[in-house]
Amino acid sequence: MSMYSDSAARRAMKIQEIILRAMSGEINWIKAAWIIGVSDRSMRRWKIRYEKYGYDGLFDRRRQRPSPKRVVNKDNTVRYDNKILQIQRQPLRHTCSGLHVLVRHHLDDSYSVWKGPHLLGRFDSSGSILEQLRKKAA
């Protein structure tokens, strides 16, 4: 599985070894779950996935793609997809530093940065700001 890192492959091998030991009766399933560090329910899920898909079923599929969630740096920037997105100063706060934000990559190859329902900025494919956010009229 070349799309997975070496650490993911090592983890899958460790899980496979523990599952095989539990299937042979050398250890019980609760001890197997304790060794891996998961609940007994998760261990049953690993077993079912191993029986259905074999070794490939032991890889954590969530780790294939990096999370779009980011933390704003002290200089009001967010790094995403090898780009630095500079968030402009917001009307009610001096800096966005430390905020947990969501970066969305759109089909037109533009990006947007969101804090909950609030848009913090839109950026083109190079990371330059597309539009200045307007203050809401009172």
CA dihedral (43, 44, 45, 47) in degrees, to 10, reads 90
Give residue 136's pLDDT.
Answer: 53
Give residue 26's pLDDT.
Answer: 94
Residues sharing a CB contact under 8 Å with residue 138, sequence separation 6 or more, in sequence order: none
- For the chain, list residues with pLDDT below 50: 1, 138
Give residue 25's pLDDT.
Answer: 92
pTM of the model: 0.49
Q: What crossing angle do the helices spanning 29-36 and 6-23 adopt, rounded to 10°?
A: 160
Give residue 1's pLDDT.
Answer: 42
Give residue 24's pLDDT.
Answer: 92
By the 8 A CB rule, do 11 and 36 touch?
no
Give residue 70's pLDDT.
Answer: 82
User: CA 90, 98, 105 angle in degrees (round to 5)?
Assistant: 75
> How do strand 129-131 and strand 118-123 relate by DSSP bridges?
antiparallel
Residues sharing a CB contact under 8 Å with residue 16, sequence separation 6 or more, in sequence order: 50, 55, 58
